[in-house]
Amino acid sequence: MTKSAAIYCRVSTEKQKGKEASLKTQKEESLELCKSQGYTVEPHHIYVDAYTGTEYLDRPALTELREAARRGEFDVVVIYAFDRLSRNQIQQAVILDFLDRHNISLECVTENFDDSATGQFMRSARAFAAQLEHEKIRERTEMGRQDRLKNGQMIGAGIVTYGYMWNKDRTAYLINEQEARVICYIFALCKAGVTIRGIAGRLRSEGILNRDGKPIWHTATIQRYLRNPFYIGIAYQYKWKNVREQGKPFKKVVRSEEERVRLPDGVVPPILVTEGGKPDIELFEAVQQVLKSNRQETSRNNRDYKQGVLRAGYIKCGYCGNNMTMRSRRSGRKNENPCYICPKGNSGFGECKRPTISIEVLDPIVWEKVTERVMQLARNISWVDEQIEKLKSMNPREVEIPSIETRLVKVESTIRNLVAMSKKDLDPDTLDLVTNQLAEQSKLKKGLLEQQRQVEVRQIQWEEVAQVLAKFRKWCLETAGNVEDATYERKRDALKILGVRVQVWKTDHDPRYYIEMSPPSITKLLVSHSVQTSMEVAQAGLAGLNLPNPP
């Protein structure tokens, strides 16, 4: 497709105005360039200025050219030399930017734009202007964010956290009731002892949809929800920042506590609440403890994990209370004399006397005491049978669901009657009364449905408790006569159920170590309406034996 061109010629003084050869030369040379490039030039697109105005806006012909450029009448502007546009480089940059914005190129007869001083300046000026505008935008954006934060408002950008939606002016969150119910369900399942992978599977199997409308739930997403303090109303802005090391791309890092901005209460309303409507901090902290325990238990954190049965939470430093870790003392390529050690003695972890103790010395001592307790349980297995029977009588689905379903039937019947009545020709006062009663009954129905969901969660916990107790009963009977051959996994189960905790000090301390077995109370766990982990309930059942500690 043939391009059309415009030619611009100018003489800058009255003296030069009479020198027709100057304008003639500019015009002829420009036409010759257009011919060589195959450009077409309409006569009315040859613009000549014989005007001395220092401001480019004061030149009549250049003004006509710019107006024609706005209308898209040509593709190229040809000039004899860059100073014919202007001797002022800033004005040259402005004119060139104007042509660029209208997709019009600029060509020069006597100079190559890329190699000329003007071209080099233009590139530098454009880069500077772009960077300057970028910084101005950043500054304006940052000032707007700071103003919002000073007023106790959210910044109002980014994807809304699951369970919420923006208010009208995007300064605070409102609760998305449908998503909030899913969040409550996820937290309840986690506290009930269901693994994150198990939670994802349960959500998929129950057909619960994510925000995209699909029954797809990733474990990383669920874990992020479980760690988010927004759900108890604790909200910070400026948690993350981008940092860049020389020669490396940007990476996102967590800001220090001093850099973060705590939003006022209510800007992010809590989703996890108690019956009194207050943030359920106890539930949130219990879930964080479950996540921490899961992280400690994972074997991928230590490739030689089976060397130490007390690793990951069962052995603590007697000086600082920190969990002791397992370390293998290496001699050549072989692991020799593995030990437990307090990591706080390492650089950057704080100060501690850093006790150590050989795994080969401590583990057999602890397991001997556990063996004695297991033998006691085997001799009193009838008590475990009693607890299993007691659990059967506490089946939430059989005990609680019938009452809730009966109430739901009554409430739904009342709602239908009120809806039918509201459609009749009622006086304003009666209509208001019916409307208020309908709202109350709808609220009651919502509460009953939530109770029903909570019972289902407790049912899950109940079933897992029964499985754990049955499994442990079988384990006691099968291994009581051959405890020494128990696998690593069975030993860990016994430590957890018996509530084993070991404290260790240095060799000059008396005692050198202390072994404790203290399962929680059965009454607190089995009678409580809060969701407990299945293993905790199993611990509680064993506590009820009230067996003496081994000597």
DSSP assignment of 221-281, as one string?
HHHHHHT-GGGGT--EE--EEEE--TTS--EEEEPPTTTSEEPPTTSS--SSB-TTSSB-H
Class of residue 213 by CB neighbours under 10 A (exposed 0-12, middle 13-18, buried 19+) = exposed
Residues of the chain with pLDDT under 70: 13-21, 51-56, 113-158, 238-242, 244-248, 250, 257-260, 293-307, 328-336, 345-351, 383-384, 464, 468, 472, 475, 478-486, 497, 518-551
| Closest by Cα among 546, 241, 499 to 376 | 546
Q: Are 434 and 166 in contact (CB under 8 A)?
A: no
State residue 307's pLDDT score.
Answer: 64
Is this prediction's pTM over 0.75?
A: no
Measured CA distances, 189 to 7, 61, 182, 283, 444 (Å): 76, 77, 10, 11, 24
State residue 20's pLDDT score.
Answer: 46
CA–CA separation, 232 and 268 (whole Å):
9
State residue 346's pLDDT score.
Answer: 54
Domains and CATH numbers, the chain: 4-127 (3.40.50.1390), 164-297 (3.90.1750.20), 331-543 (no CATH)
Token reading at 381: 């297995």
| Closest by Cα among 394, 406, 408 to 450 | 408
Q: 3-state SS of 250-264?
A: CEEEECCCCCCEECC
- Edge-first strand listing for the sheet containing 334-341: 325-331, 334-341, 356-358
Q: Are 476 and 381 in contact (CB under 8 A)?
A: yes
Task: Give Cα 347 to chain centroid, integer Å.
Answer: 30
CB atoms within 10 A of CB 529: 7
pLDDT in tens, 368-389: 888 777 777 777 777 667 777 7
The proportion of the chain whose per-residue pLDDT surpasses 70, expressed as a percent, equals: 70
Q: Which helix (H) or strand (E) holds 92?
A: helix 89-101
Q: Are 512 and 365 in contact (CB under 8 A)?
A: no
Q: Tell me how long the chain is.
A: 551
Q: Are 76 and 105 in contact (CB under 8 A)?
A: yes
